[in-house]
Structure formats: structure tokens, C-alpha cells
Amino acid sequence: MATTPSRDDALELLHDWVENEGLRTHMLAVEAAVRHYARMRGADEELWGLAGLLHDLDWERNPDDHPLPAVEELRARGYPPEVIQAILAHRSDFTGVEPESELDRVLVACDELSGLVVACCLVRPNGVDDLKPKSVTKKLKDRAFAAGVSRDEVQRGIELIGLDRNDHIQNVIDGLRARGTELGIRGEDLARGR
């Protein structure tokens, strides 16, 4: 029986495929949020973390076919079917694979919202340290802020996960706060210029 690739294996793959630091940070942020949900729900944190970390692996190389080239690579490397399914489901509009499992729904729910939360952190002196859902909701309503974040996908994710919007935002903040130093979004990191 093959061994599931480790987080170190996934990080090496990420660094081989992704050059853009902003995209790397996004992928790490989504991983942090998804892992937080795994801990909250008693799920396999390592498995869920792999899906969060690698969900946009091919975005830079193949945006038109994303995530199909990444899925092909991950299958060849022996990544678990649950990870493949979640990555396909996070872009169901293109792949036709709908989010079915809890991991699928959590990945969709954390993807765009994590991007918005990171953007909120970057414009605050204290970054993620004292960020509240109210501040994120305010920026969510401002479509000019982090304009690349799909508000429709944020809403879809909230509906898929079945939580109150503020509760979900707080969960994502908590997940990112736990990895704030690695993400460069703590107040002290921002004061030093990351």
C-alpha cells in the first residue's frame, strides 16, 4: 500500500509549481483555514490540509484548465482520492464535480474567504491579531476591495458549510491567526514589512 504524500512533499511540489508569492500565501492561508475546520470537526487534519494547500497548484501554469493538470499530477503522485475530489469540487463550474463531502464543502467555503481575510490583514496595523468578523464583512460589501475575490463564491461557501456568516468568518480568522507568523499577517510582521 502506497504512503500518502506528506505536507513536506506537498510544499516541495507547491514551490516547484508556484512562483508567485501572493499565490503561495493564498494556498497556505486556505490550508490553515481548512486545517482549523478539520480540528474543529474531528477530521483528518493532514488529509484536509493537503487539499487546502494544493487546491490552486496549477493556477499560475494553466489558469484556463485549472485544476485538471494539477489533479493529473496529484493522481500520478499517489494523493488520496478525497484530496483529488475536493480540488475538483472547488471549481465545480468548470469540472462539473459538485462538492459532496464535508471536506469538499469546507474547501469551497474557505477558498475565497481566506483571500479576503488575508487582504483585510494587510491593510490593518495589527494584521490578524485583533481582526473581527465585522471588519471582514465591511470589506466583503466593498466590491472594490480585493476585487479578485468572488463575493458570489464566498456566499456559496457560506451556504455550503451551513454556518452563520460571522461564525464562519471567525473560524477562518482563527485558522489564519494560528499560522499568522508563517503567513506574514501578524501586526509585528506587517510593521517589519513582512
Q: Residue 172: which domain range?
A: 7-191
Q: Is 167 helix (H, G, I), strand (E, B) or coil?
A: helix
pLDDT digits (tens, 9 = 90+) for 58-78: 999 999 999 999 999 999 999
Whole-angstrom distance, CA of residue 62 vs CA of residue 114: 22
pLDDT digits (tens, 9 = 90+) for 120-144: 999 999 999 999 999 999 999 999 9
What percentage of the chain exceeds 70 in pLDDT? 98
The candidate with the shortest Cα–Cα distance to 167, out of 28, 35, 38, 37, is: 37
Residues 6+ apart with CB under 8 A from 141: none
pLDDT digits (tens, 9 = 90+) for 102-126: 999 999 999 999 999 999 999 999 9
Residue 2 resides in a domain: no
Reported as a pLDDT band with limits 50, 70 and 90, residue 1 is: very low
Residue 38 resides in a domain: yes
How many distinct structural domains can be found in the chain? 1
Q: What global pTM score does this model have? A: 0.95
Residue 92 resides in a domain: yes
Q: Which residues pair with 127 in a beta bridge?
A: 186
CATH number of the domain that residue 175 is part of: 1.10.3210
Residue 116 resides in a domain: yes
Residue 14 resides in a domain: yes
